[in-house]
Structure 1
């Protein structure tokens, strides 16, 4: 098993707290991966978050410039990082237009934001002595979980869909994961059985409405910390949204900055969902803690979720933002805009910018920077590798013709 070469700062995490009833607290271990046992019902499961001894933190020292990289940079405000890292975090904030910035999470070790989550969830698996982890994933989460499990010396089982692309299959197998493509609706029941019968630690959702792992969104808080260090508190953050874990983590990070006295406000938070389903937008519109929806056809498979969770509702509530829904045409336009700025994003990852571009100018906040999170690399799209460029004749006439067709002028 790999180990860190340096002693990490101590985590100030003190326990788990129910989001369904914040007065209900639980010990830090074991992680309650099926949600709060005292507030959940057959209709909705309520996640947990971690609480911290904030009064013991020297916030000025923690947020001072530092050479340390990886999530250990923020160890006091994260669960204990028992799993070794891969240099996750520290991704660039790229200005693509005046006052419009993209937080490019494709620069993480497995090319997605999920690395921040899995550094924390695999740490929990190590803490409880699990010999392996299990995850249900369409791609990004599984690849990341497999990488962090390999780094920590754990086995990894990935339940994925029947339409797994050869590229993602190779990606998962490269880390030694056991890859199990099954029908989409069978993934979670089989995941639960694998967890119960083989003693694997679940690092993805086990419940009907989404709860996920209580440690996971804590890793996403670090996006807010990094944005704050780069541009302060932005006017708004636009976040690609499936289950809402990333959304919740970003909001919690800014809430903590306010709690620690480093700022007096939080940004408006906009969830950016695929219009093919949009369970969070449905839940907010109906005043529900979570919702289930039918998912229609879309190429944005990473955010095409049939269920939402209570975290997403909490993230947008009271921020001044709101849920946004985007169709594939809007997502494709945003992806092309990102590519025109040198950023190759998965279609789902372009949802943040698509959300910003969907708002009329008079609705855009003008009291600070606008930040769009781009969650993953274009490598993750299912169509990647299908493009084939026709060969050009090996003489100048052929080259000239191709350049003229591309719009070049002599």
Structure 2
């Protein structure tokens, strides 16, 4: 297998501004960022050297499952994986496809990002991993840090689901619940004083995140291309900071660069209507926007600050920023559960946006909704009273209960 063909980091604000591949610039581009907007970095590759059979040759017997297949088009994978990726594509009754990212090792799409970002920390000689997370990202970072033999510190939200702390601590990570406004300053001290590498955001003016992380999300686009035998007509993605949105769009753009596809599908950002910083940025023509905090149960994507990555992804794909209410996401979550797929509320944002704003019947090809995380991560799952009241063990009582539930 060809090793990584990554060559450099470059600014998304000005592609002519390039930096060496190492070390990862985790605070955004130092040249193009301003006091108003921190600009993320992208990763360049030597596309002329991509093996001809990377997307067509069958995997050899015993080949490692996970992101290793795509090593030439990823930054160096310096630590072992957990079998991330290769998630199923499930066709719903009306022909819409659902990419089920809950089948990843820690039950969310974040495993694709952390396989790459934690590996980068290992390769750069970091003393550990630091992450700020409401749930999915922290659990995933903790798992991949453990796999890499690195300590991990998770700055957790006090509003995270109760089960998340147990999930994270199971991997040996330290969980620190601090006020949200203190998180980034504490993360920066972890970096400067303790030598930890962040796999989440350090910047205040706009989200930049780890420059290598979104590269892991590209593999989702590769898998859709192989599973469908073509690029989809449209992809609907739950969107918080826009890293997934950017990575998937970049993956499709690379397929065009490599001559494997003719076009990039329309990629839609699906945000909670209560906030929606990307929708605000697009509406006002800004590279990134801050929005007021408003309550939403879609905590995994309920962001108040956006990233220029999202604007770039929508521009490159011809997509749009769509917003959906908690009620629309709940209806989509219930629709998916009725077909055997159980996701947290945020994960249903893609299907909710398709039902509210789009039409699979009018699309010129397959339509895909990405579902990002298991229903076990939902806010209500661990807080709802799940105790079972003991009922009489006679048939009449069973029939009464079945009728009440609509089953008899």
Question: TM-score scaled to structure 2, two decimals?
Answer: 0.96
User: Is the contact made by 2:231 and 2:264 (CA closer than 8 Å) also made in structure 1?
Assistant: yes
Matches within 5 A, 1:15-26: 15-26=8-19
Secondary structure of the 2:317 match is coil
2:374 corresponds to which residue? 377
Q: Deviations over 1:207-259 (max 9, x none)?
A: 12000001000000000000000112100000000000000000000000001
2:396 corresponds to which residue? 397
Secondary structure of the 2:336 match is helix
Q: Deviations over 1:66-89 (max 9, x none)?
A: 253200010100000001100000
Cα offset, 1:345, TM superposition: 0.3
User: Is the contact made by 2:234 and 2:363 (CA closer than 8 Å) also made in structure 1?
Assistant: no
2:211 corresponds to which residue? 214
Q: Distance in 1 between matches of 2:246 and 2:361?
A: 21
The answer on 1:268 being equivalent to 2:261 is no
2:341 corresponds to which residue? 343
Match among 46, 70, 75 for residue 39 of structure 2:
46
Q: Deviations over 1:273-298 (max 9, x none)?
A: 01111000000011110000012111
The answer on 1:28 being equivalent to 2:49 is no
User: Is the contact made by 2:127 and 2:194 (CA closer than 8 Å) also made in structure 1?
Assistant: no
Cα offset, 1:189, TM superposition: 1.5
Structure 2: state its 5+ residue gaps. none
Q: Deviations over 1:380-399 (max 9, x none)?
A: 11211324243332111110
Q: Deviations over 1:76-131 (max 9, x none)?
A: 00000001100000000000133300000000000000000000001111111112
User: Is the contact made by 1:9 and 1:72 (CA closer than 8 Å) also made in structure 2?
Assistant: no
How well do the aligned residues superpose, as a CA RMSD in angstroms?
Answer: 1.3
Cα offset, 1:43, TM superposition: 0.8
The answer on 1:115 being equivalent to 2:111 is yes
Cα offset, 1:317, TM superposition: 1.0
The alpha-carbon distance between structure 1 residues 18 and 360, as it changes in their structure 2 partners (threshold 3 A), is: closer
The answer on 1:162 being equivalent to 2:158 is yes
Q: Distance in 1 between matches of 2:138 and 2:362?
A: 36
Instruction: Tell me the matched-pair count.
Output: 401
Cα offset, 1:320, TM superposition: 2.7
Structure 1: state its 5+ residue gaps. 1-7
The alpha-carbon distance between structure 1 residues 299 and 52, as it changes in their structure 2 partners (threshold 3 A), is: same
User: Is the contact made by 2:5 and 2:73 (CA closer than 8 Å) also made in structure 1?
Assistant: yes
Q: Distance in 1 between matches of 2:380 and 2:160?
A: 11
2:136 corresponds to which residue? 140
Match among 6, 11, 21 for residue 4 of structure 2:
11
Q: Distance in 2 between matches of 1:157 and 1:167?
A: 17
Question: TM-score scaled to structure 1, two decimals?
Answer: 0.95
Q: Distance in 2 between matches of 1:19 and 1:63?
A: 31
1:280 corresponds to which residue? 278
Cα offset, 1:322, TM superposition: 0.5
Match among 212, 221, 230 for residue 227 of structure 2:
230
User: Is the contact made by 2:130 and 2:197 (CA closer than 8 Å) also made in structure 1?
Assistant: yes
1:94 corresponds to which residue? 90
Q: Distance in 2 between matches of 1:92 and 1:360?
A: 23
- Tell which deviates more after alignment, 294-303 or 190-199: 190-199
Cα offset, 1:364, TM superposition: 6.3
- Tell which deviates more after alignment, 286-295 or 390-399: 390-399
Secondary structure of the 1:204 match is coil
1:5 corresponds to which residue? none
Q: Deviations over 1:185-218 (max 9, x none)?
A: 2211111112111110111110120000010000
Cα offset, 1:166, TM superposition: 2.9
Matches within 5 A, 1:289-300: 289-300=287-298
Q: Distance in 2 between matches of 1:221 and 1:270?
A: 15
Q: Deviations over 1:161-185 (max 9, x none)?
A: 1234331110010011010001122
